[in-house]
Amino acid sequence: MKVIPIFIEAGISGFESPAAEYKELGLSLDQLLVSNPDATFIGLAQGPSMQEVGIFDGDLLLVDRSEPVKDGDVIVANYNGCFTCKFIDKKNARLLSASCKHQPVNITPEDEFQIEGVVTRSIRLHRQVKELSTCMR
């Protein structure tokens, strides 16, 4: 194999590195994304019913149990033993999907229903994390 010696210097294009413009924020992602660490948990979104509001299958959801639930919030709830992520329609006691392909779900007194928290952030993973997929499925 022939080796061609090429000497490369930083800034080969004549411009300073784009990273030189950025300053360290001095904050962690926890500090930037989580307001109430003791009341926040992470869930894994599954299914396409909330895509229209930017929550895709496989996204991480930051769910805050301490946030007051307002009409129209995106929430995570335990509905009849299954966790679901939907809009809450408190006035009409319904769960709403962002997609018109899914009908509203009426919450009746016979249903087992518990709001687990308000979705405050969603994080898209562009590369699947192996540890995450095995521990959350």
Tokens found for residue 29: 């992602």
Tokens found for residue 21: 């413009």
| Residue-level pLDDT at 15 | 56
pTM tops 0.95, yes or no: no
| Residue-level pLDDT at 2 | 41
- Give the alpha-carbon dihedral of 34, 38, 40, 41, to 10 degrees: 120
CB proximity list for 49: less than 8 A, separation 6 or greater = 85, 86, 97, 98, 99, 101, 102
Which ranges in the chain belong to alpha helices (H)?
A: 29-33, 130-135
pLDDT tens-place string over residues 42-91: 999 999 999 999 999 999 999 999 999 999 999 999 999 999 999 999 99
The superfamily in CATH containing domain 39-135 is: Umud Fragment, subunit A (2.10.109.10)
| Residue-level pLDDT at 10 | 47
Query: How far, in Å, CA of 101 to CA of 35, rounded?
Result: 33
Q: Residue ranges of the domains in the chain? A: 39-135
Look-up: residue for tokens 């004549």?
14
Q: How far is CA 69 from CA 17, 24, 79, in A?
A: 45, 35, 16
Residues in the chain: 137
> Which amino acids are annotated catalytic?
49, 86
Tokens found for residue 110: 């016979």
